Amino acid sequence: MAQNTTTAPKRSYQTVESGPRAPEAFLHPVSRKNYGQWKYHERPRPGVLKHVAHSGDVLYTVRAGTHRQVTVDIVRHLCDLADQYADGHLRWTIRNNVEFMTPNWNNVEPLIRALEESGHPVGGTGNSVGAIAHTQGWLHCDIPATDASGVVKSMMDELYDEYVNERMPNRVRLSTSCCEINCGGQADLAVVVQHTRPPRINHAILSDVCEMPSTVARCPVAAIRPTTVNGKPSLMVVEEKCIFCGACFGACPAMEINHPEYSKMAIWVGGKNSNARSKPANMKLVCHGLPNNPPRWPEVTQVVRNILDAYKRGGRDWERLGEWIDRIGWKRFFKETGLPFDTYMIDNYRHARTSLNMSAHIRF
C-alpha cells in the first residue's frame, strides 16, 4: 500500500476495528446476574429507583445531574463515588444524568449526600423535569448561533426544584438546540435557534472555500443561484424564497446565516417520544423572536417557566405536556401561558394542510 512516503516514522501499531465496547463486563454484578430477569420497580424517593428481580435480588439506582461538559477530574470524582458506593460501576442516561447502582440500601443515603456535597443534584426520575438534552454551541460546534451549555445551565438553575422533586403531571423532557438542525431533538419543551434573515454571503471567500453545486443543491426551496461578483464566481440568495433554515451554511461557511441580533430563540412544545397513550408526536412552535441574550437568557427562561407552571397547574396525572394541550386545546394553551398566537404559527411548508383544523370542532 502506498501510504505516507514522507519521513514520518513507520507506524508499528495495528488498529483493531473493534466497534462499540462489549457491554457485559461493564454491568454491575447484580445487573449481570439478573439480566433480563427483572420483575418490577418502585421509586422510594425522587432520584432513586428500586428494581426487584424475579430472583428476589434488589438493585437501587441513584440518579444525579451533571454538567455534561465535564473534565477528567469531574469524571474521576464520579468514579471515586462509584468505587465507594456502587461496586466500581456507573452509567449515563441519554439526558446526561449519571447513575450509580447498588444492592445495598445503606449505601443510598451516604451516596446522595456525597453527590449533593459535590454539587450534583439527585433527581430526574418520575414526574420531574429531567435534565436537558443538548449539544455543543459556541464551545465546540462550527455552525451554532448560541451556546447550548449556557442556556441549559441558566434554565436548570431556574428549574432546579422541579428536577429534585416529582411534582409535575408526568415527566417533562427538555432540549435545546443552537441551530435549526435541532440536534437537541424533539422534546416536551424545546428551545431552538430561529434565524430571521437570509444568509449574508461572503463573496470574498466563497469560491475558495465552497463547492458551489452542492451548496445550491443543499437548499430545500431552490433559493440559491450562481452569480458573478467582482468578476469572481459566487452565489446569490433569492430573499423572497429563502426560509432562513441555514442548511446552506453547513455546506458552505461563506453563507453566513448566524447573526448576533437576527438569530433569535424560539420555544416549541408537545413533542413526545414515548408511545404511551398517544402516538409519538413532533413538537409545535409556540413562541419565537426571543433575544439570544447571554450569559443567562432571562427572556427564554421566563417563557419556559410560564409554560411549565401552566402545565403543572392544569395537567392531570399522566398527561404529558402535549397531551394536556390536546385536552384543553391550543386556544386555552395560549391563554393560560399568556403567549400570543401569530400568523407564522400557521404552517405553510410541506404537508401544511394536515395541521389545519378541518372540522367544526372549536372551543368557545
Partner 1 sequence: MSEKNDSNLNPTPNLDALEEGPWPSFVTGFKDWIRKTGNTMARGALDQLNYSYETKMGYWKGGVVGVHGYGAGVISRYSMIPEKFPEAAEFHTMRVQPAPGLHYSTKALREVLDVWEKHGSGLLSMHGQTGNLQLQGIAQGNVQQCFDELNALGWDLGGAGATVRTGASCVGPARCESACYDTLGVHHQVLSYFTDLVHRPQLPYKAKFKFSGCPNDCSNSIQRSDYAVIGTWRDDIQVDKEAMERFIQKKGVDYLVNNVITRCPTNALSLRGNEMVINNADCVRCMHCINVMPEALSPGKERGITLLVGGKGHLKVGNMLGSVMVPFMKMESQEDIDGLIDLVDRMIDWWSENGLDHERIGECIERVGMQQFLDAVGLEANVDMVAHPRDNPFFKASYDHDPLAGIGNAA
Pick out residues in 302-341 that bind partner 1 (CB under 8 A).
317-318
Q: How far is the CB of 205 from partner 1 (least distance, A)?
A: 11
User: Binders of partner 1 among 258-297, rule CB under 8 A?
Assistant: 258, 260-261, 263, 271, 273-278, 280, 282-283, 292, 294-296
Q: Are 113 and 100 in contact (CB under 8 A)?
A: no
Q: How far is the CB of 203 from partner 1 (least distance, A)?
A: 18
User: Binders of partner 1 among 222-251, rule CB under 8 A?
Assistant: 245-247, 250-251
User: Binders of partner 1 among 47-86, rule CB under 8 A?
Assistant: 51, 59, 61, 65-76, 79, 82-83
Q: Which residue has the cell 428549574?
A: 159
Burial 185-218, CB ≥16 within 10 A → b, else e: bbbbbbbbbbbeebbebebeebbeebebeebbeb
The SS3 assignment for 343 reads helix
Measured CA angle at 260 (ends 256, 266), to 5 deg: 95
344 binds partner 1 (CB under 8 A): no
354 binds partner 1 (CB under 8 A): no
Q: How far is the CB of 56 from partner 1 (least distance, A)?
A: 14
For partner 1, how many residues bind (rule: CB under 8 A)?
119
Q: Which residue has the cell 398566537?
A: 341
Instruction: Indicate the residue among 2 and 25 with the shorter CB distance to partner 1.
Output: 25
**Binding residue (CB under 8 A) for partner 1 from 108, 145, 255, 307:** 145
d(C-alpha 139, C-alpha 180), whole Å: 17
44 binds partner 1 (CB under 8 A): no
All three cell numbers of 330: 391550543
Instruction: Indicate the residue among 120 and 307 with the shorter CB distance to partner 1.
Output: 120
218 binds partner 1 (CB under 8 A): yes
Q: How far is the CB of 124 from partner 1 (least distance, A)?
A: 12
**Binding residue (CB under 8 A) for partner 1 from 57, 58, 103, 160:** 160
Alpha carbons within 13 angstroms on the beta-carbon side of residue 90 total: 23
**Binding residue (CB under 8 A) for partner 1 from 57, 103, 185, 285:** 185
Is the bond preceding residue 295 a cis peptide, omega within 30 degrees? Answer: yes
Measured from the Cβ of residue 178, the count of other Cβ atoms closer than 10 Å reads 30
147 binds partner 1 (CB under 8 A): yes
Measured from the Cβ of residue 151, the count of other Cβ atoms closer than 10 Å reads 29
Stretch that binds partner 1, among 18-26, 197-205, 234-242, 327-335 (CB under 8 A): 18-26
**Binding residue (CB under 8 A) for partner 1 from 58, 143, 229, 345:** 143
40 binds partner 1 (CB under 8 A): yes
Q: Are 147 and 138 in contact (CB under 8 A)?
A: yes
Measured CA angle at 195 (ends 189, 201), to 5 deg: 155
Question: Alpha helices of 254-339 — where are they, by DSSP H?
Answer: 298-314, 321-328, 330-337
The SS3 assignment for 80 reads helix
Q: How far is the CB of 345 from partner 1 (least distance, A)?
A: 14
Instruction: Indicate the residue among 17 and 331 with the shorter CB distance to partner 1.
Output: 17
Q: Which residues contact residue 323 at a Cβ distance below 8 angstroms, ignoring those fewer than 6 apart? A: 170, 272, 277, 278
